[in-house]
Every structure is written in C-alpha cells, then in structure tokens.
C-alpha cells in the first residue's frame, strides 16, 4: 500500500494540457466501436486502469486493436460477430464498464461473465439488471443479480418504455445499448438529465437516438453504425482537482486546456464560481461534444448549498468538499444519496476524513454540512477510492496531508501526482 505526502509549495500559476482524457467518453469509444462494421479511429484514449479494462474486454469480444506511434491512439476493428469469450470479463474498479456492458451483452448471442474488484463487486447492479430482465434479458448474479459476478446470456429483447427513478448515465446508456437491438422503438425517461455522451456519440455514428428534455427515444439499429473518428478531450472531473487547488489559494490560478465542456459535466466549476472563485470557459471547437479551456482564479470563498442537478457534479463532490472546508461559513450538500454507492460510500469517506482534518461536519442520509475552518494536517484513508485520494491530496497543497492507499488513483488519472508536484511538495 503506497502513501503520498503532500505539503504546500507557495503561490502558483499553473497551466496544463496534460489532464487525463475523459473517462466516460473513452469507455464509450471502446464499447461503441462494436456497433460498426468498420474500424474506428480513437485518439487520446484514456490510458488508465478503468478504461484499459474496457479495452481488454472488447478485445476478448473479438475486436482487433491496432496501436499507433502516438500514445493513446488506437484503430479498433470490430469482429463480424461478437465472440463468446472463454474467460470472465474483468471490469476492475469500473461501474461504467460493468453497467454499459450489461446492456450491450444482454443482446449478444452467447454467455458472458462480468466481474470486478472487491469495491465493484459490492456496488448495486439491479438498477440495470431489473429493467433489462423486464424486457427479456437473462442476467443473474449474487443477491438476485444485484452484485457481480454477473452471468449474462444474450437474447432478442423487447422494445420498452422505462421511467428510471435515478438520474444515472450508466443506467440510461445500458438501456440505450439494449434498445438499439430491440424489436421496436423504445423510450427512456429520467428524473434529471444525466450526462449525455452516449446519445451524442451514437447520433454522431448515425443511430436514431432522439433526445427531448428528459426523454430519449431509441430506434432499433437496422444496419451497422458509422465508425467513430474522435479525439477524446480532457476529463473535467479530473481537471476539477486542480480547479479546487486554485480556488482554495487566493491569488493563484490554474488554466486547463482542451477540456470537455459538456454542460452536464462542468456544474462543479459553476459552484466554485458561486462560492467566489473566478471561473471562465473558453469554447474552442466541437466534435460530438464542446471542448475548450477553463481558467480558475482563487478568491476568498463563501459557503454554498448544493442540492440541484446533483448528477451534473456527482463525481466532483469529494473535491468540492475541500473547497467547502476552506470557505467562510456553512456549505450543504443535499439529494446526493448516489454518493453512497460509488467506489466507496463517498458521504462517509468525506465526512470521516474532514473530521480527521478538524473540520466540523454533519452527516445526513443524502449529504452533509461542512462548517468552513482551518484544515489541520491529518493521515487520510482513501478507502480505495481514487476521488477521495485525489481530493485530500489537493487539500495537502493548503495544509500538509498524508494520504494512505493511493494506488486507486491509477483507475482514472495515472499522471495526477506528476501534475500535483507542480503545485505541491510531494513525497512518496
Ligand atoms: O456514465 C458514465 O460514464 C458515468 C456516470 C456516473 O455514474 P452514474 O450513472 O452511476 O451516476 C458517474 O458517476 C461515473 O463516474 C461515470
Ligand atoms: C463513479 C465513478 O466511476 P464508475 O462508476 O465508473 O466506477 C467515478 O469515476 O467517480
């Protein structure tokens, strides 16, 4: 188990185009390449544990992956027909990989077993298994199909109208993938718009996926889709750690280049702006998605309430909690019960670790309340969760922190520590 020591380094103006590539889009690139009959060209694919698992899985299903000289550039050639792999498909730590693949494999001829690490094996899967089973899918697993390992036998599925109770892009994407092979037009409805990369990318590939507010209509795919030709932008959820670093240091500045600017992904930056940080978005280009630069300048921060559009900032809440701890006054997070079923129970992980830093926190079933104050040095438990490890590493640029069990950072952001060393003193 590796430990990371981070200490403040003084004022900084830091600019980078090296933030990790977008994880959500990278997973989708690997899986969606199977929907075409021609090679997809993917540039800047995220070379982190989660998305490398997905790449290995699609390879086991029959795709051929050609690497190019430039790192992260792949040509992915789909097989004529998805093969039945002899071994289990290992999703590692990735909920996105497991849930999207459930939807895709539920329609493929053959038997498939999805598994993951001990954290993923305790995350709920019936949110995807149940709606898929209701349209004819054969899915089973521990606890009546709620926990991996999951066994899936592909079937021809019925078209559906499904109203999801949770705003989850993983549930939505799994059902869209199943609907593309169903026997009629399907509709999916969610309570709040979750990230919409699947809809945008599939439309770009020629699929008839029509979004109207919270409703998506999916027409069955009559012929193979067009291949993807995409350069994956940098991940705003990964960039957000550095945004918080700027926000908690008055007078400091961070510039993040080539970031994905999808509105469902940059809400946390807008919360930093509400707290008093200066945040600007400079849109530059658009390919499937809007992409550009984000500049964050540290100013004195005030506490805020975060209770709406939670799915637009769900992954950033742990890092945002560090900004809350450094702000004047109270900050409150509500309606965020989904945090409890991520790589760790992130409500509990944030609350326990902030208390170790002598910050006053109250825990609720669906969130927490933080009274801003002076962070004290502490030894932090990552709970094996990459976002907890990186959030408290950023706190270390303000007050020395020691973070235990940091290997998990490799699931989404392998060069995080290298970038962190530009704004903090690091010892491993
Ligand atoms: O679809 C995706 O790529 C993701 C969706 C979100 O999960 P939920 O769909 O469970 O909210 C998010 O937390 C995860 O990091 C990535
Ligand atoms: C929740 C996350 O990912 P996943 O659900 O894919 O494991 C995350 O990266 O914060």
ipTM over 0.95: yes
CATH of the domain at 380: 3.65.10.10
Is residue 223 included in any domain, yes or no?
A: no
Distance 95 CA to ligand 2 centre (A): 6
361 near 316, Cβ under 8 Å? no
Number of domains observed in the structure of the chain: 2
Q: Is 170 annotated as a binding residue?
A: yes
Write the CA distances from 402 to 14, 51, 283, 376, 399, integer angstroms.
23, 28, 37, 11, 10
Ligand 1: residues within 6 Å at CB?
24, 95-96, 168-170, 173, 194-195, 311, 314-315, 338
Q: H-helix or E-strand containing 24?
A: helix 23-32
The answer to whether the annotation marks 355 as part of a ligand binding site is no
Same-domain check for residues 171 and 244: no
- Nearest-CA residue for ligand 1 atom 13 is 315
| Judgement on whether residues 196 and 241 belong to the same structural domain of the protein | no
For the question of residue 37 being annotated catalytic, the response is no
Distance 344 CA to ligand 2 centre (A): 10
| 55 is a domain residue | yes
Q: Is residue 37, in this structure, part of any structural domain at all? A: yes
Does residue 260 sit within a domain?
A: yes
Name residue 402's beta-bridge partners.
5, 379
Q: What are the phi and psi torsion angles at 144 (to 5°)?
A: 55, 40
Instruction: Provide the residue-wise pLDDT of the chain in tens; the chain has 428 residues.
Output: 999 999 999 999 999 999 999 999 999 999 999 999 999 999 999 999 999 999 999 999 999 999 999 999 999 999 999 999 999 999 999 999 999 999 999 999 999 999 999 999 999 999 999 999 999 999 999 999 999 999 999 999 999 999 999 999 999 999 999 999 999 999 999 999 999 999 999 999 999 999 999 999 999 999 999 999 999 999 999 999 999 999 999 999 999 999 999 999 999 999 999 999 999 999 987 778 999 999 999 999 999 999 999 999 999 999 999 999 999 999 999 999 999 999 999 999 999 999 999 999 999 999 999 999 999 999 999 999 999 999 999 999 999 999 999 999 999 999 999 999 999 999 99
**Closest-lying ligand to the alpha carbon of 98?**
2
Domain boundary among 160, 187, 218: 218
- CA 168–ligand 1 middle distance (angstroms): 6
Q: Which residues pair with 286 in a beta bridge?
A: 290
123 and 264 in one domain?
A: no
Out of 192, 218, 244, a domain closes at 218
3-state secondary structure (DSSP) of residue 153: strand
Q: Which two tokens stand for residue 95?
A: 């909920």
325 and 277 inside one domain: yes
Q: Cα separation of 249 and 398, whole Å?
A: 8
Output the CA–CA distances (angstroms, integers) from residue 81 to 23, 44, 200, in the order listed: 26, 27, 25
Token pair 């690091």: residue: 426
Q: Does one domain contain both 170 and 307? A: no
Shared domain for 121 and 175, answered yes or no, is yes
Instruction: Give 171-186 as a DSSP string.
Output: HHHHHHHHHTTSSS-E
Does residue 115 contact residue 148 with C-beta atoms inside 8 Å? yes
Judge contact between 91 and 100, C-beta under 8 A.
no
Measured over all CA atoms, what is the biggest interatomic distance in the chain, rounded to whole angstroms? 61
| Domain span holding position 207 | 23-218
Ligand sitting nearest the alpha carbon of 24: 1
Q: What is the pLDDT of residue 285?
A: 76
Atom of ligand 2 nearest to the CA of 96: 6
Are 212 and 331 found together in one domain? no
Same domain? For 32 and 11 the reply is no
CA-CA-CA-CA dihedral for 258, 7, 426, 273, to nearest 10 = -10
Alpha helices by DSSP H, 230-316: 236-247, 267-275
Which protein residue's CA is at the shortest distance from atom 10 of ligand 2? 315
What number of residues does the chain have?
A: 428
> 327: which 2 tokens?
């702000």
- Verify that 107 and 158 share a domain, yes or no: yes
Among 172, 189, 218, the domain-final residue is 218
Residue 255 lies in a domain: yes
**Joined tokens for residue 121:** 């094996």
One of 315, 366, 385, 405 is an active-site residue; which one? 315
Q: Measure the CA–CA gap between 48 and 71, rounded to whole angstroms.
A: 12
Residue 226 lies in a domain: no
Q: Which of 345, 323, 308 is nearest to 395 (CA)?
A: 323
Binding site annotation covers 376?
A: no
Looking at the structure, tell me whether residues 191 and 241 fall in a common domain.
no
Residue 415 burial (C-beta neighbours within 10 Å; 0-12, 13-18, 19+): middle
Q: How many CB atoms lie within 10 A of CB 165?
A: 9
Cβ–ligand 2 contact at 26 (below 6 Å): no
Q: Do the annotations mark residue 342 as ligand-binding?
A: yes
299 and 373 part of one domain: yes
336/349 Cα distance (integer angstroms)? 14
- 166 and 261 in a single domain? The answer is no
Q: Measuring CA to CA, which residue among 50, 3, 2, 1 is closest to residue 26?
A: 50
Would residue 227 count as lying in a domain? no
């Amino acid at each position: 188990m590796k430990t990371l020591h981070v200490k403040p380094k003084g004022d900084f103006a830091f600019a980078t185009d090296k933030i990790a590539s977008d994880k959500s889009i990278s997973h989708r690139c690997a899986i969606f390449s199977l929907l075409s009959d021609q090679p997809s060209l993917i540039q800047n694919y995220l070379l982190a544990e989660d998305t490398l698992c997905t790449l290995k899985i699609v390879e086991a299903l029959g795709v051929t992956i050609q690497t190019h000289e430039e790192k992260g550039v792949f040509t992915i050639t789909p097989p004529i027909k998805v093969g039945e792999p002899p071994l289990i498909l290992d999703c590692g730590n990735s909920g996105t990989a497991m849930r999207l693949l459930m939807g895709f494999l539920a329609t493929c001829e053959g038997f498939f077993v999805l598994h993951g690490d001990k954290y993923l094996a305790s995350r709920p899967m019936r949110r995807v298994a149940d709606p898929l089973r209701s349209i004819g899918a054969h899915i089973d697993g521990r606890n009546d199909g709620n926990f991996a390992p999951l066994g899936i036998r592909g079937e021809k599925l019925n078209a559906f109208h499904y109203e999801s109770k949770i705003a989850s892009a993983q549930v939505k994407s799994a059902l869209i993938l199943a609907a593309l092979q169903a026997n009629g037009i399907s509709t999916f409805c969610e309570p709040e718009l979750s990230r919409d990369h699947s809809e945008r990318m599939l439309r770009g590939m020629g699929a008839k996926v029509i979004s109207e507010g919270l409703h998506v209509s999916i027409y069955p795919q009559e012929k193979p889709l067009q291949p993807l030709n995409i350069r994956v932008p940098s991940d705003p959820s990964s960039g957000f750690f550095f945004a918080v670093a700027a926000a908690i240091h008055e007078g400091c500045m961070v510039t993040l280049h080539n970031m994905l600017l999808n509105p469902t992904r940059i809400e946390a930056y807008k919360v930093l702006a509400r707290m008093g940080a200066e945040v600007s978005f400079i849109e530059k280009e658009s390919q499937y998605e809007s992409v550009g630069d984000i500049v964050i300048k540290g100013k004195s921060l005030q506490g805020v309430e975060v209770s709406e559009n939670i799915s637009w900032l769900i992954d950033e809440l742990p890092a945002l909690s560090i900004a809350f701890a450094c702000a004047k006054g109270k900050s409150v997070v509500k309606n965020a019960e989904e945090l409890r079923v991520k790589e760790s129970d992130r409500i509990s992980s944030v609350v326990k670790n902030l208390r170790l830093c002598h910050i006053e926190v109250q825990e609720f079933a669906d969130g927490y309340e933080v009274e801003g104050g002076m962070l004290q040095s502490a030894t932090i438990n990552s709970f094996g969760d990459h976002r907890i490890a990186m959030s408290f590493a950023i706190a270390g640029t303000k007050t020395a922190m020691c973070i235990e069990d940091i290997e998990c950072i490799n699931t989404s952001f392998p060069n995080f520590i290298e970038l962190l060393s530009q704004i903090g003193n690091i010892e491993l």
